[in-house]
Amino acid sequence: MKNPLDITDRETLFRLLNSQQKATVFVDEIEMQQEILTRVRGQDHVVEDVVKLVRQQYAKVTRNRPVANILFLGPTGTGKTEMAKAMAGYLYGDESHMLRFDCSEFSGPEGKTRLIGTPTGYVGADKGGQLTRPVLNNPKKLILFDEIEKAFSGVFDLFLSMMGDGRLTEQGSGRVADLTQSIIILTSNAEYEAIAKIQEQVTDAYEQIDAIKKHLRDCKTFRPEILGRFDRIYVFKPLPQEVLAEIAAIKTIALAKQFDLQLDWVDPQLMAEALLASFKVAEFGARELERIVDSMFAEAMIQARQDGVKCIALDRSADGQIVVRASETAALASSAMT
């Protein structure tokens, strides 16, 4: 008797089964590291490990949870948010694929509703949630919760489903958002000094992560069931002076690009002044340095745009004013300084 499932049928079945599998994405570890390091300085210990984690998880054909659940701890302005942006830009092609939530805006009971939508029968139920609706439209997202310790306790209930099963049901529509192609990152500056000491004292990797999770549990920063869902916990270090100097240069180049200018040279004394100003507000880290660079150079760059200059050199005039020169003078200005 003929087998009811002949070879043709088997091939059809295999094609159907394979069509249900998510396409495997292979991450170039070296390329991703280099991309992030062009934007994040002083946190190489985090970059190396987080890229390895993402590469390993992305290579899986199927997943029943997010690509990675990560906690970034550390003082403000050390690159936690910038690293998340860089990861989203590399993995998904554009930073617009990152959903960022400032948890100080979710400190009340309405925060949970904002994320997953209004229940059926209430005004706005058709609009969906600020988290669920974008993921329903495109599941490839990096989801960032900044300063998570400021969120309302009810918001943490959502993480049990998000981080555990990679699913979140939208109120109103009843549709289930699939987060198994997403990366979830939480940031916090709570307890980072105590965590840093634990890292110094405990050298074994497994004992270290156990000690960190126990500390966060005991000080009631996170519930035990949330801590158990993190794949990695990373501690960002305060930025030393030489790293801040690099960041100042990066921020100045980035500012020029925002004005559609190319920065060819900058007077080293101007960078030193930017650093000196940043030390006066050191507790705010690189974020404040960006504002200082903007306030120092934006006006001169606007003038360059108005003058039709494209490639520029930043210098200081004899009367102490910051000026922009055409790039043709950059080499002469540099030699004059030496």
For residue 307, the SS3 value is: coil
Q: How many C-beta atoms surround the C-beta of residue 204 within 10 A?
A: 9
Q: How far is CA 157 from the centre of its chain?
A: 23
In a domain, 306, yes or no: yes
Please tell me the distance from the alpha carbon of residue 249 to that of residue 335, in angstroms, as a whole number.
20
Q: Which two tokens stand for residue 294?
A: 């903007």
26 with 139, same domain? yes
216 with 249, same domain? no
Q: Supply the CATH number for residue 253's domain.
A: 1.10.8
Furthest C-alpha separation in the chain:
100
In a domain, 7, yes or no: no
Task: Quote the pLDDT of residue 63.
Answer: 87
196: domain range? 19-235
Q: How far is CA 18 from the centre of its chain?
A: 33
Mind listing the pLDDT tens digit for each residue in 144-161?
A: 999 998 888 888 888 888
In a domain, 121, yes or no: yes
- What count of residues does the chain have? 338
Task: Quote the pLDDT of residue 25.
Answer: 62
**Of the candidates 26, 144, 146, the residue with the CA atom closest to the CA atom of residue 86:** 144
Task: Quote the pLDDT of residue 3.
Answer: 47
Residue where a domain stops, chosen among 183, 212, 235: 235
Residue where a domain stops, chosen among 235, 257, 275: 235
Task: Quote the pLDDT of residue 126.
Answer: 81
In this predicted structure, which of 59-63, 132-136, 225-229 has the lowest mean pLDDT?
Answer: 59-63
Report the predicted TM-score, pTM, of the whole model to 2 decimal places.
0.77
User: Rounded to whole angstroms, what are the CA distances from 216 to 95, 100, 176, 235?
Assistant: 30, 23, 31, 13
Residue where a domain stops, chosen among 179, 209, 235: 235
121 with 208, same domain? yes
Q: How many domains does the chain have?
A: 2
Q: Which two tokens stand for residue 319?
A: 């009367």
Q: Supply the CATH number for residue 119's domain.
A: 3.40.50.300
290 with 224, same domain? no
- Helix 80-92 vs helix 29-37: crossing angle, to nearest 10: 140
135 with 269, same domain? no
